Amino acid sequence: DTGVSQDPRHKITKRGQNVTFRCDPISEHNRLYWYRQTLGQGPEFLTYFQNEAQLEKSRLLSDRFSAERPKGSFSTLEIQRTEQGDSAMYLCASSVTTEQFFGPGTRLTVL
């Protein structure tokens, strides 16, 4: 049973650059979620897809953030014009019921 996978695992970028992360959910999981976790805090919800439809978005997801799940399988999260405050662990989760399973995360460092 393959778990949720995320790529890349680490990303270092300069302020102002755009970055894109990918998440592959567990096979046949139709629900996919993105969270962000900063040091010393619990993860915070960003957005949620059911199949290809984006059903819920947090106010944390500013205009510089966009998430897609074009074919209802993998998802991408893009951050435009990165800022130092975007440095965090970006976690993806998937589910078929309400029990969510998390991937290993992408750690973003903005210099």
Q: Which residues are near another protein by CB under 8 A?
A: 31, 33, 35, 37, 41-45, 48, 50, 55-56, 58, 89, 91, 93, 98-102, 104-105, 107
Cβ closest to another protein, residue 74 vs residue 80: 74
Q: What is the smallest separation between the CB atom of 61 and another protein, expressed in angstroms?
A: 12
Between 19 and 93, name the residue whose CB sits nearer to another protein.
93
In the complex, minimum distance from the CB of residue 67 to another protein, in angstroms, rounded to a whole number: 12
User: What is the CB neighbour count within 10 angstroms for residue 106?
Assistant: 22
Give 19 or 36: the residue with its C-beta nearer to another protein: 36
> Cβ 81 to another protein, closest distance in Å?
25
Pick 52 or 80: Cβ nearer another protein: 52
| Alpha-carbon 7 to chain mean position | 10
